[in-house]
Amino acid sequence: MKRICYLFLLLAAAPSVAGEMLVIAHRGASGELPEHTIAAYTRAIEQGADYIEPDLVATRDGHLIARHEHLLAMQGGEATTNVAEVFPERVRDGALYGQAVRGWFVEDFTLAEIGRLRARERMPEVRPASAAHDDRFSIPTFQEVAALAKRAGVGLYPELKQPEHFAALGIDVVARFQEELQRAELDPHGALFVQSFHPPTLRRLREALGPRVKLVHLDREAPDLADVSTYANGVGVPMTVAMEPAFIMSAHIYGLAVHPYTLRAEARFLPDGITFEQALDALRAAGADGVFTDFPGRARRHLGGG
């Protein structure tokens, strides 16, 4: 009986989770245009996204720019920029997430040099229509993405990428982010979620930005929700984790919002025989509070509102 009462108390204390599911434009409308470009973010905003998501890495001179990882292009492999053509001599051996790789790395370039690059579609075979826009768009700074969100009146959902990697290079991305937030004159308590896969970074953000800023713990598996609730307001987990029995209900009991990633329209990224809309329905039925998607327009059309 005691345990049941306790559960009811926890449920009563949990934040309201009955609101609309947020449409979070993952790297912009990145299913349609090269990711992390002003064009992709603008398209997402036009399509009714609630939030736009930039992943952030730091240049050699410490500016935050919108890229998914510190590798700008792999020699002879995946590339999200034309750096191999603009700076062929800068190729070197390095590592990405602990794996040896030869390529071009953001920490070797100043912001002015990044300004000479243009974006490319990461998966040209999967998304040829997006690849048709290769080499058209510049690589935006965090300041440019923040200014766009502010002008358009949509939320911003930045992720600090590879904080330990940049710390080893003498770049404190938390301090840089705090400075850049102030420079952008963004209300840290407004439509802003800040995300990281690195709990120490989230704890530092809590310290730096105060108790009211909304922080999201990212994970590739189900995290210890009790622990996460001591420093974050939400969790971002793969859709398969979010759909595990009782995961979302448990997160809500701990007062954590759940924003699963990443809903993509192509069949290869969806469970067998499930459409984009069916996956969205399943997440909504399970109680997800938002979803990261490469196709914000399609999500908005299906969910309505916006």
Taking CB under 6 A as the criterion, the residue among 105, 166, 193, 261 binding ligand G3P is 261
Taking CB under 5 A as the criterion, the residue among 55, 107, 180, 294 binding Ca ion is 55
Give the footprint of ligand G3P on residues 85-144 (CB under 6 A): none
- CA-CA distances (angstroms) from residue 295 to 19, 36, 247, 251? 21, 14, 25, 26
- Is the Cβ–Cβ distance between 80 and 120 less than 8 Å? yes
Nearer to Ca ion, 35 or 159 (CB): 159
Residue 196 engages ligand G3P in binding (rule: CB under 6 A): no
Q: Which does 293 bind (CB under 5 to 8 A by kind): Ca ion, ligand G3P, none?
A: none
E strands present in 16-105: 22-26, 51-53, 55-58, 64-66, 71-74, 92-96, 99-105
Give the pair of three-digit tokens for residue 84. Answer: 């191999």
> What span, in angstroms and rounded, lies between the C-alpha atoms of 233 and 4?
25
Give the pair of three-digit tokens for residue 93. Answer: 């051996």
Nearer to ligand G3P, 34 or 87 (CB): 34
Taking CB under 6 A as the criterion, the residue among 31, 48, 158, 236 binding ligand G3P is 236
Quick one: angle between helices 296-303 and 38-46, nearest 10? 10
Residue 71 engages ligand G3P in binding (rule: CB under 6 A): no
Q: Which does 300 bind (CB under 5 to 8 A by kind): ligand G3P, Ca ion, none?
A: none
Residues with Cβ within 8 Å of 222's Cβ and at least 6 positions away in sequence, in order, are 237, 241, 244, 247
Residue 294 engages Ca ion in binding (rule: CB under 5 A): no
Give the footprint of ligand G3P on residues 2-41 (CB under 6 A): 26
Taking CB under 6 A as the criterion, the residue among 32, 35, 55, 121 binding ligand G3P is 55
> In whole angstroms, how close is the CB of 201 to ligand G3P at the nearest point?
13
Residue 289 engages Ca ion in binding (rule: CB under 5 A): no
Give the footprint of ligand G3P on residues 176-195 (CB under 6 A): 195
With CB atoms as reference, the residue minimizing the distance to ligand G3P is 261
Nearer to Ca ion, 247 or 292 (CB): 292
**Number of residues binding to Ca ion, judged by CB under 5 A:** 2
Number of residues in the chain: 306
Count the Cβ atoms, other than its own, within 10 Å of residue 53: 31
Give the footprint of ligand G3P on residues 203-222 (CB under 6 A): 218
- CA-CA distances (angstroms) from residue 68 to 8, 72, 103, 209, 233? 41, 9, 15, 23, 23
Residue 160 engages ligand G3P in binding (rule: CB under 6 A): no
Residue 159 engages ligand G3P in binding (rule: CB under 6 A): yes
Beta bridge pairs of residue 29:
none
> What span, in angstroms and rounded, lies between the C-alpha atoms of 74 and 71?
7
Q: Which residues of this protein are in contact with Ca ion, per CB under 5 A? A: 55, 159
Q: Which residues of this protein are in contact with ligand G3P, per CB under 6 A? A: 26, 55, 68, 159, 195, 218, 236, 261-262, 292
